[in-house]
Chains A and B, each alone.
Chain A
């Protein structure tokens, strides 16, 4: 199956700064899901994007799916210490095979 590449691997910001993580694929993605994993925790589903150019917002989080459906991004505005964790993008290939990106680990200086 195709790989989903995610960058950056790590990001450290000051509290209040913005944060963005990107997922890219060389081939068209059928969908993108985003998960958050807190330190010592397990992945928790955030959102799913399916349509070309789709943009969804959850409070300070904005999720985008590229027009060509080959990339996606998660942007957090004005980070808070509760945003700390690793953010993963993932694509469902076939009916149920979830293929994850490498994740972006976000740390925040209060």
Chain B
């Protein structure tokens, strides 16, 4: 499945580093999402973008900064993260008209030291 791609697949960073996660969808969708999946919590929605506009910020700390330059690309900029931010970060996309199937990318496994 290559409809939604994410890079890098694995990332190790220190607490003072700045890094970015990239997501690209090839499905012609208009909505894109960032999710966090950690070991002891359910999948948590972080951000939603619909037609490039942010429509949902699920009380995410400001050390996570999303960017959606167009409907096909989504970034998550990371700075001064904490060890508890270590998790699998999943990107997803959907058509954008509401209540649709979401298609997930393979995720970026992030470790913050």
Contacts and interface: CB of A to CB of B under 8 A. Distances in A.
What range describes how many residues of B lie at the interface? 20 to 34
Interface of B: 1, 31, 33, 41-45, 48, 50, 55-56, 58, 90, 94, 98-107
Contacts of A20: none
Nearest to B41: A102
Interface of A: 30-31, 33, 41-45, 48, 88, 90, 92, 95-103
A92 B99 contact: yes
Given A42-B105, A43-B90, A100 B43 contact: yes
A101 B102 CA distance: 16
A101 to B, nearest CB: 6
Contacts, number: 53
7 smallest beta-carbon distances between A and B, as pairs: A95-B98, A100-B43, A42-B104, A45-B101, A100-B42, A102-B42, A43-B104
14 contacts: A31-B99, A33-B101, A41-B106, A42-B105, A42-B106, A44-B1, A45-B102, A48-B101, A95-B98, A95-B99, A97-B45, A101-B42, A103-B42, A103-B43
Contacts of B33: 96, 98
A2 to B, nearest CB: 13
